[in-house]
Amino acid sequence: MDQDARQVRWLLAVAIILCALMIGYNVLFVPQVTLTAVVKTDLSSAAQAAVPSAPDDVSQPEGYEPEPVEQTALVNLNTADAEELETLPGIGPATAQKIIAYRESVGAFQSTEELMQVGGIGEKTFEKLKELVTVEAAE
């Protein structure tokens, strides 16, 4: 029995030493963690009015001319896909789809001026596009 009691004492001593080592390590080597308080508050209407918001209508200053984008090759209205059409100034995804739908329903474009028949393309937009597009026959 004396042997069993001795083993229990050694086991308890080793456990106490290991616990002391872990506590010492945490005290000496683990950095302190500071907790920050999160405070939720309701903003009154006066305080909300003081918060600046983005303007609804953003316009360019007078006399501003965007730099023209150099286009190396003309875009063929009869073969271009939506991605190619979107590289043109003033043509977004919706207008590109309208051009393709027009081409599929009416047939190949016969002239660049026919582009003005597509919804959303007026004279101003056409003036920007006329030097960038062509209507070569589809192969």
Q: Kindly state whether residue 22 falls inside one of the protein's structural domains.
A: no
Cα separation, 118 vs 99, whole angstroms? 6
Split into its structural domains, the chain has a count of 1
Q: Kindly state whether residue 120 falls inside one of the protein's structural domains.
A: yes
Contact (Cβ atoms closer than 8 angstroms) between residue 134 and residue 79: no
* Residue 101: per-residue pLDDT: 93
Q: 119 lies in which domain range?
A: 75-134
Q: Kindly state whether residue 87 falls inside one of the protein's structural domains.
A: yes
pLDDT mean for each 10 residues of the chain (139 residues): 89 94 87 73 60 60 65 82 91 92 91 89 89 81
CATH code of the domain in which 92 resides: 1.10.150.310
Q: Kindly state whether residue 130 falls inside one of the protein's structural domains.
A: yes
Q: Kindly state whether residue 125 falls inside one of the protein's structural domains.
A: yes
Q: Kindly state whether residue 122 falls inside one of the protein's structural domains.
A: yes
Q: Kindly state whether residue 32 falls inside one of the protein's structural domains.
A: no
